[in-house]
Amino acid sequence: MAIGMLVSLCYAERETSESPVFWKSFVLLFVGLAVIHKGFLLYNIYGHDTIFVTRQKAEEGPMAGIYGRYSDGYEYNIRGRLLDEFIPRGSKVLIASHKSIMYLQEDYVICNYSTISTPTIDERLFQYWTLYPDKVPEYIVWDKGSEGYIATNPEVNARLVENAELLVDDEGLLIYRLPANPY
């Protein structure tokens, strides 16, 4: 498309001196192509969106400055603020979510044996913490919206938070603070 626009600009420069109507037509064509191109990009990236859909910009963290769907951007920003407010930098954190990018919101120590794809919350966590006691979390962040995405066991879930203090129940996040050496 860009090559075609460049050729059209060269042709337009030559033709504008001969016909002012051509220049007006060219400007309308250029604007029309830009609008169609924008709509085409949004359709391919987001499926059903149009150029009139409201966007939200990520304010902080690894996605800062990136625009996305309004609801996704809102969720990203508000969750980032909650994590920043309730979990100090450098803390040891277990995030039970299919959105493992939350680990990058601040400088956290990851306390899960794997963050690849969708984490599994199971008995292996306790084995991992037995082998690596320096990875026992100080905080657990539970994403209620991930319940259909991550494999969990109700008994393990209960054991994880049985001694924990609930700090936040907001925006689909539960943030727990664990006492020293809870397991």
Q: What radius of gyration do the chain's Cα atoms show?
A: 25
3-class state of residue 62 by DSSP: helix
- Mean pLDDT within 47-62: 72
Write the pLDDT tens digit of every residue in 21-53: 766 777 777 777 776 665 554 444 445 556 666
Distance CA 147, CA 143 (A): 7
User: Cα–Cα distances in Å, from 111 out to 52, 92, 121, 134?
Assistant: 42, 6, 12, 9
- Identify the pLDDT of residue 183: 67
Give the integer Cα–Cα distance in Å for 38 and 42: 6
Q: Which amino acid is at 18?
A: E
176 in Cβ contact with 140 (< 8 Å): yes
The residue with greater pLDDT, 118 or 137, is: 137
Under a CB-based contact definition with an 8 Å cutoff, are residues 128 and 135 in contact? yes
Q: Residues 71-107: pLDDT tens digits?
A: 888 888 888 899 999 999 999 999 888 887 788 888 8
Q: Is pLDDT of 167 > 90?
A: yes
HEC states along 111-179?
Answer: CCCCCCCCCEECCHHHHHHHHCHHHCCCEEEEEHHHCCCCEECHHHHHHHHCCCEEEEEECCEEEEECC
Query: How far out from the chain centre does Cα 85 lie?
Result: 18
Q: Average pLDDT of 122-147?
A: 89
Which tokens in the block code for residue 101? Answer: 């990018």
Give the residue-averaged pLDDT of 168-177: 90
User: Apex CA 170: angle with CA 166 and CA 174, to 5°?
Assistant: 40
Distance, CA of 146 to CA of 144 (rounded, Å)? 5
Answer whether 0.75 is exceeded by the pTM.
Answer: no
What is the model's pLDDT at position 3?
72
Average pLDDT, the chain: 79
Phi, psi of 9 (to 5 degrees): -65, -45
